[in-house]
């Protein structure tokens, strides 16, 4: 038997075994998904924004100011300025359309997608 023919036979057998194993595993995973109860998602309320701001302010007050000693004054000042830059939440206004889009509650949309997934005609 030629070596190339032997390689083709081995590849065919391995491919068949992998296909069989994958089908079996996929069937097991699908069964587990249907058996498990749907998990409830935790949705944070928008009223805890003040708590978040307080927590961040507390963290900033506890952190020492950054000290960069690279030997280059320009680089040191640039690094210090970058470290003290405001966060994106502080930069964007709450009434900014982009900020409203990003912080939108997508819970109803996700639940509709889940219902559509479960629908089988």
pLDDT tens across 53-73, in order?
888 888 878 877 677 778 888
Helical (H) or strand (E) element with 25: helix 3-35
pLDDT beneath 70: ranges in the chain: 36-47, 65, 88-90, 121
* pLDDT the model gives residue 15: 92
pTM of the predicted model as reported, rounded to 2 decimal places = 0.29
Q: Is residue 99 helix, strand or coil? A: helix
pLDDT of residue 102: 78
What confidence score (pLDDT) does residue 81 get?
82
Question: Quick one: which of 117, 105, 100, 102 has its CA closest to 41?
Answer: 105
Output the pLDDT for position 55.
86
Q: What proportions of the chain, in percent to the nearest 5, are helix, strand and coil?
A: 70, 0, 30
């Amino acid at each position: 038997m030629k070596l190339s023919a032997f390689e083709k036979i081995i590849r065919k057998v391995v491919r068949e075994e992998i296909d069989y194993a994958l089908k079996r595993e996929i069937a097991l995973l699908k069964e587990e998904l249907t058996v498990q109860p749907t998990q409830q998602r935790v949705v944070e309320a928008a009223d805890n924004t003040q708590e978040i701001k307080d927590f961040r302010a507390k963290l900033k007050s506890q952190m020492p100011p950054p000290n960069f000693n690279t030997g280059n004054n320009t680089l040191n000042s640039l690094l210090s300025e970058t470290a003290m830059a405001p966060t994106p939440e502080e930069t964007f206004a709450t009434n900014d359309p982009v900020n409203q889009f990003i912080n939108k509650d997508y819970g109803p949309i996700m639940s509709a997608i889940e219902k559509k997934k479960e629908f089988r005609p």
